[in-house]
Each structure stands twice: as structure tokens, then as C-alpha cells.
Structure 1
């Protein structure tokens, strides 16, 4: 079963398919705290949430893509609980800390294996990651900042609708999250013009600075005067970053970690300190000269990307990220054709925990499926 086939099926057929999957069977065996979920295990709750979706008043106003996104968000939103559930020894209460983060990675893997297109996969994975946020808006010191921040990561309307289904898909009435809290999410989003669209920042630099500051000013309009443009490549080994550059940016100078490693004769499994040092110097040389260039490395985690983005931003550069991810079998095939292929075990491990970039990290983001 592939994505195009499965996503065209009815909700009941999708649920039947899910029950044969190992991650779903793990949910069926994972108990929940009865104070929050007296209906029972995670899969029972998941089925109840899925059943609530067609009951939403707004369901018929959604297009087929939006309905599909919500169905698979519901299907996978608590799939991380079997990986995180623990019982508190003092109280006997069941907790699943950070299950949404684990769920995001699991959802990404499930959808990738199905052949889901990159944009839809990331839309669902991020909804899984942030599915619990609307219920706790009142606990945020700055609710406006919360809804604005999420609006460039998910569609706040879909997040709100899912939260309604999630809170209705349980039998513990006394512990349900009040729907008034969810309606507050809608109201604050609408007031900030970001309920069904990303918040309208004045320009790309305003958005870029918003996500870099701990106490951002929504109304600040910075002047856009970039010293140069840095194109940061991101993707698994074998994804085709070099090929993309050769086709799209043929005249752009490139700082490549692979090239530096080759020049220094340092194997990827050895200490990379010298490699990073040389690459940073070359980047600084271009930045000081105000010369646009590409920085080519895997850049698979947000933390790694942030270190380099901080460097580029210090010199006033405009930063665009190009994330490349063809189908996984193509990545493996292209890796085998490399002069020095990366062990496939390593690629599988990287694919299990990678963090595709989001528009919140840069001035521009390009997704390419190769």
C-alpha cells in the first residue's frame, strides 16, 4: 500500500490498515492515565478522535487535502506514547513526557515509507508535534506570540480543528480540556490575522528576527539590506545536493564539508574539528568580501544548522536553505554510486532522527524532492 492508494481510502479503511501496523499495535498495548483517558489504551482514544473528525461542523468546508491531513494527524498524534510512557513510582500515575516529539519522528518515518510527498509529510509531522499546544494557550505569558510563532509551522485552523476532535475523543468528561481554551486559540489567531494563513510579517527579515529573539517585537519593521546571500544545502548523504548545485547555481562558489575532508584526508568517522575550522574560515572569507556562496553539508539537525546560521547572520547575510529529499530508495541508490559511499546503516540512523528545516530558521526555504 502506498500513500496515493491509502490516502484515497475511506476513514474506516485507513483505520483497518493501521491496525496491522506494528506502531498501531504498540498503541493498543499502551495504557493511559485514567484521570485523562478513562476510555483506555492509546489506540482506543485514537479511534475515538478519528471518529470525531467527520462530526466537526467545519468538516465539510475542508478540501480533500485538508481532510486527509487531519485524518493522518489523528492517526499518528499519540503514536509516540508507547515510546515514552512511564509510571510514577510514588503515585502510580501514567505519564508520557515528550511523546509529541517522538510522535513527530515516528510520523515522518511512517509517511516516508508510504511514499507521501515531502510537503504533506512535513505538514502532518508538525501537526503531530504541536497538537497539544492550543489547550494550554492560557498558560503562555504572551498568547499573541504563541499563535504567531506556530502559524509559520502549522495551519492554525487545522491545529484548532484537530484539538477539538482530540478533546472530544475521550470519555473522561471531568478532566477534558475546556473547549473554551481552544476557542481562545481561534480568537487570538484571528485577531493576529494568522488563523488560516501565516502571520503577515512586514518582510522576510522581520520574520527571521522574530524567531531569533526571545522577546520579539511583532510590529518592528527592519530594513532589508543584506551583504550577500548564503545558500545552505541540507539533506541526507546521497540526496543529490551536489547535483542540485550543479544545475541550479552553477556559478556560485561553494564551501563543502566533503571537499574539505577530502583535502585534509580526514575520514567522516574521525574528529571533524579541523574540517569545521577550515570551512568556517572559508565562509568568513566570502562573508567579509560580501560574496554570495553556497554552504554544502548534510545539516540534518536544527542545532547544527543554527551554529552556521548564526555565523552568516552576524555578517548581515540573507540566508536561504535548500532541503533536498528524494525517495529513500533513490537516496540509497545514489549513495552507492558515490566514490566514497556512506555506510547504509549510517544513513538509516540519520533518517531515523533527522530534523528537516523550517521557514522559521531562514529568510527563505526551498523543498526539493530531487
Structure 2
């Protein structure tokens, strides 16, 4: 299995045999789990049990092949973050794997990228890996319906529910640890709110935007969509083509660029960026105060970095679209090497490992482009 095309041609058994020969599967074989939750032993044993349960799910045969593959790859990769996060709890003496779903999501993105899995499909699987553990703990949430509604915008709740069933069945554990009734509550809440097979039908983009930003969202509030200006926020590795995308797709927009600010201030990319950020924020404010549409061009590779700018733009009543670009890392490195002031290849490679692909929870709109579609 050297490409996604090979995956599409292969059977589940062939895909599992391919996965079994990977370094990440070896790491899972060597990783033991808490005996109460996983009496079956190591992570790979559990993974194979979950893969088997996926095919036994009621309704599995009715799913299209793409959804079947989403479930299969979620099964293969959902606990791939455990080898890096499993440790003995000094207070209880039990094994714990804190934040393993976050680490696993990053690993899944890398595995699927190597296979050249299409960007949108890849990110759906990544998000299923990231949130696979949410359904069993729904009753612990102060507002359970909010958890289901929010995640409906990021994953398909039907697949999340089905995978939770397979994950529960694919283990040797005390039956009182996790009951399927708890998992079915997720399905019932999703069905009740009309978001089992798709995202919750918010009244408009502003309603969704505010719902994700507020601690307790109001589903009945229909905010007026009146924006003072529109901001395009670029996101992507250095050398991926953000300037080119803006020139071809939004040539009318003035651009606030961190690279341009650095050049104006004569600040190197490896120097302290405090002055650069301060100046860039002031240039953005000038457009925001004037109610002018503009683009903000920087790498913006993580949720936390993007949020700082989104908070600024939203504070002025702007409509915010995030445009994320990506390409094969080898292509990016080659393009970067031909720039006037190239970023060190080691820096780009390090940044590539930190990428968090933006989703609709972060802005009013998100555009994701990969490969030849990015321009």
C-alpha cells in the first residue's frame, strides 16, 4: 500500500496487513494498557479487535466505501498516540495515556499524508481519531447537547457513534466499565437535534461562529449578519504559495503580511518577533477601524496562534474566512529554496510537524486547498 489509490483497491484484510508492518504498529505492540480497561493486553491487540468489530457493526454494509474506510482507519489509528503518552500514575499505580487522542490525530495526519489521502477525507479521519473518546463521557458534560452539536460540525456523528460501539466491543473489560446505553445516548441526542448525519443546521454562519466562541451557546438566537468588513486569514507553511493564492484569487485586497512587516522593520525571522506582531496588529486595526476588507498573511499553523488574530478581527465585527494551503513537503521545500530569503529547511520541517489544519469552528468560513488546487 504505497498510495491512497492502492488503499481504494485493497480489501480491509489487505489494509490491516499493510498497517501491521508499520513502525507505528510496532510501537503499539510494545505498549501495554491498563488491565481494568484493557485486559486483552497491548494496544495493537486492542486495535485488531476493534477492526474486527467495525465490520460487524449493524449498518456497516450499507455505508459507502469511503465511510467504511473512515471507520477502518480510525480503528487502526485511534490509539496510535498511546505509546508516546502511556505512563504509570504514581497515585493509583495504573497505566494512563493522557492526551493520547491528540498525539494520535497528529500521527494519523502524517500517515495519511504519506499515502496521499485527499485532504478533506484525511482531515475527517484525523478528527474522528481526535474525538473518538468523547461519546462515553457525554453525561459528565454540564450541557451534553452542546458537545454533540459542536462535534457535528467537525465529524459525522453517525460514524463517531458507530466507532464508539466498535471501540467498546473490541476489548476484554468489565461490562460495567462502559455500557452501550451510554454510547447510544450520543446517537439519541444527535438525532433529536438533527445532526446525526450532518452538521447542526445553524441559522447562519454568525450563529455557528458565536456558538463555538461562547461558553454556553444559544441555539434559538438568530444573530443579524451585518459585518463591518471581511478578513481573509491565510494559513500554511512558508513557501506553500500564500502570496500567489492571494494575487490570483483576491488581487483587490490590501494585505497585511508578517514577512512584509519584518522587512519594513529590518527584523530577521529568527529574531524576537514582538515588534513585528505589534506592528502587524496595528496595521490590521487600521483596516478594521476603517471597515475595509483585507487579507492577513502569515503561517498561522496552530489553533492557538489563529485564535489571537480571530479574537482581534471579531472584536471589530469582521467576517472571517481562513484559507489553508498545503502541498507535498518536498515541493514546499524546493519552492522555498528558490525564494529571495528562504526559511531554513529544518525550520519548515519542524513547523510541518506542528500543523493543525483549520476547521469551521474557528471562523465564519474555511477554505482548504491542497496540491494543484491550492492556487
Normalised to the residue count of structure 1, the TM-score between the two structures is: 0.98
Mapped partners of 2:327, 2:36: distance in 1:
44
The separation in 1 between residues aligned to 2:342 and 2:158, in whole angstroms, is 44
Query: Partner of 2:353: helix, strand, or coil?
Result: helix
CA offset digits 1:327-351 (Å, max 9, x no partner): 2222122111211111111111111
Task: Provide the secondary structure at the position in 1 that maps to 2:123.
Answer: helix
Give the drift of 1:7: 3.7
> How many residue pairs are counted as aligned between the two chains?
370
CA distance in 2, matches of 1:334, 1:20: 33
| 5+ residue gaps, structure 2 | none
- In the other structure, the counterpart of 1:256 is 257
3-state SS of 1:67 partner = helix
Asked if structure 2 preserves the Cα contact closer than 8 Å seen for 1:147 and 1:188, the reply is: yes
Q: Tell me how large the CA RMSD over aligned residues is.
A: 1.0
Determine the structure 2 residue equivalent to 1:165: 166
CA contact (8 A) 1:35 1:175 kept: no
User: CA distance change for structure 1 residues 16 and 187 in 2, over 3 Å: closer, same or farther?
Assistant: same
From the superposition, tell whether residues 27 and 322 of structure 1 become closer, same or farther in structure 2 (CA, over 3 Å).
same
> Is 1:112 matched with 2:118?
no
Inter-partner Cα distance in structure 1 for 2:176 and 2:106: 28
Question: 1:270 maps to which residue?
Answer: 271
Partner of 2:77: 76
Contact 1:167 1:176 (C-alpha < 8 Å) held by counterparts: no
Offset from partner CA, 1:213-263 (integer Å, 9 cap, x none) = 111111110001101100000001111101100110111110000011111
SS in 2 for 1:278: helix
**Residue of structure 2 in register with 1:288 after alignment:** 289
CA distance in 1, matches of 2:51, 2:336: 39
Asked if the contact 1:36–1:175 (Cα under 8 Å) also holds between the matched residues in 2, the reply is no
Q: Under a length normalisation based on structure 2, what TM-score does the superposition of the two structures give? A: 0.97
**Aligned equivalents of 1:310, 1:8: Cα separation in 2:** 45
**How many angstroms does 1:265 deviate by?**
1.2
Change (3 A) 1:175 1:79: farther
Match of 1:215 in 2: 216
In the alignment, is the contact (CA less than 8 A) between 1:232 and 1:322 conserved in 2?
A: yes
Q: What is the SS of the residue equivalent to 2:71?
A: helix
1:3 aligns with 2:32: no
| 1:141-168 superposed Cα distances (whole Å, 9 cap, x missing partner) | 1111110011111110110011011001
Unpaired stretches in structure 1, ≥5 consecutive residues:
none
The structural deviation recorded for 1:86 is 0.4
2:36–2:174: 8 Å Cα contact kept in structure 1?
Answer: no
Residue 211 of structure 1 aligns to a residue whose secondary structure is helix
